[in-house]
Amino acid sequence: MAKQTITVFGATGKQGGSIVKSILEDPKASSQFQVRAVTRDASKDSAKSLASLGAEVVTADFNDKDSLHAAIKGSWGVFSVTNFWEVFSADAEEAQGKAVADVSKAEGVKFLIWSSLFDVNKLSNGVLPGVYHFDGKARVEEYIRGLGIPAAYFHAGFFMSNLPGQFFRDNGDGNWALALPAPADAPIPFFDAEADTGKFVKAMFLNHEKVSGKRIYGATNYTTPTEIIDQFKEIFPNTGKKTVFAQLPADVFKGIMAGTGAPEPIQEAMVQNFRLLKEFGYFGNDKLDYSLSVCTCTFVSPFIDHSLTMAPKLLTEEPTTWKEFAKRQPVFAGLN
């Protein structure tokens, strides 16, 4: 049987790149699917390395509909992720996401996976109206649901890669600190986007009928800042003796962001994004059981979701833990 083509947008980035690798390096998935990897610049190294893995690399731009038709034509499946941090506008991100959805429908795509997030304004009843990088993606999810095409929604958790050398850094004196505008017990849905997006999304494509219409949450678990520090101390007991968590007041955090050139709405968006964790839940306080059972059957329990006990084993790749992730971070190299 001819292989089905899956077109992956954002293929040179963290989420899309993980999916391309995960499918092409998996004997079962690569016997069923071929991958078309989309970039705006096929000459760059990240695009060339996708080609060397066996992906068909094509160029397209979310802002150019003709290029989207050419990239999507003949595809059985599409994965789409937009990059808020390039456009800095929920409206622009929404237009890009909707364009891929419209073209997917027009080209007869059989399964679309949209990298979505919650509408925080709605979830918080207007208390957190400024988390633009979530709300625009949620509007695209709502739009796709209305289009009536077979689709599912991958909600990426908080990237572990946001921490090392950024929110979790050496103060300059060998003492490490995690500093966030969130309380020590805020539940963070922790996610290794580069290693694990493919584990979840590949499982979604392979089991598209089961996950159609559903949200799948990309996260290993909920981890609090206290637990992040505790586990860091277990890996690096010597360094860990002086490692602390500091909850930053919103104005201090905004001042730090202002120092990096971030405009006020983006500073406020990030403050509200961190408030979301404890006040309303990054995933609206949903449990991860169903999503993890898609990723690995070891979490399946007859007491959690009865329908899943009937499901065959879907995938056996465990998502990455913070300890595993931290041990291989270059900025932590040499710590003991």
Q: Summarize as ranges the residues that interact with ligand NAP (CB under 6 A).
A: 9-16, 39-41, 61-63, 81-86, 117, 133, 156, 158-159, 162, 193
CB of 242 to ligand NAP, least distance (A): 27
CB of 320 to ligand NAP, least distance (A): 14
Residue 83 φ then ψ, to 5°:
-115, 95
Contact 207, 270 (CB under 8 A): no
Taking the CB of residue 247, how many other CB atoms lie within 10 A of it?
16
C-beta closer to ligand NAP: residue 15 or 296 = 15
Contact 313, 294 (CB under 8 A): no
CA distance 157 to 192: 8
C-beta closer to ligand NAP: residue 28 or 44 = 44
CB of 111 to ligand NAP, least distance (A): 20
C-beta closer to ligand NAP: residue 156 or 308 = 156
C-beta closer to ligand NAP: residue 16 or 240 = 16
CB of 125 to ligand NAP, least distance (A): 22
- In terms of Cβ atoms closer than 10 Å to its own Cβ (0-12, 13-18, 19+), residue 104 is buried
C-beta closer to ligand NAP: residue 15 or 22 = 15
C-beta closer to ligand NAP: residue 143 or 159 = 159
Point out the residue whose Cβ comes nearest to ligand NAP: 13
Please give the single-letter amino acid code of residue 52.
S
Residue 220 φ then ψ, to 5°:
-80, -40
CA distance 56 to 3: 13
H-assigned helices in 207-321: 208-211, 225-235, 237-240, 250-259, 264-279, 289-295, 306-309
CA distance 334 to 332: 6
- Reported for 311-318, long-range contacts at CB under 8 A and 24+ positions apart, including other chains, are 311/207, 311/210, 314/203, 314/206, 314/207, 314/210, 315/199, 315/202, 315/203, 315/206, 317/199
CB of 261 to ligand NAP, least distance (A): 18
Contact 224, 188 (CB under 8 A): yes
CB of 173 to ligand NAP, least distance (A): 28
Taking the CB of residue 156, how many other CB atoms lie within 10 A of it?
23
C-beta closer to ligand NAP: residue 16 or 77 = 16
For residue 296, give the DSSP letter. B
C-beta closer to ligand NAP: residue 77 or 218 = 218
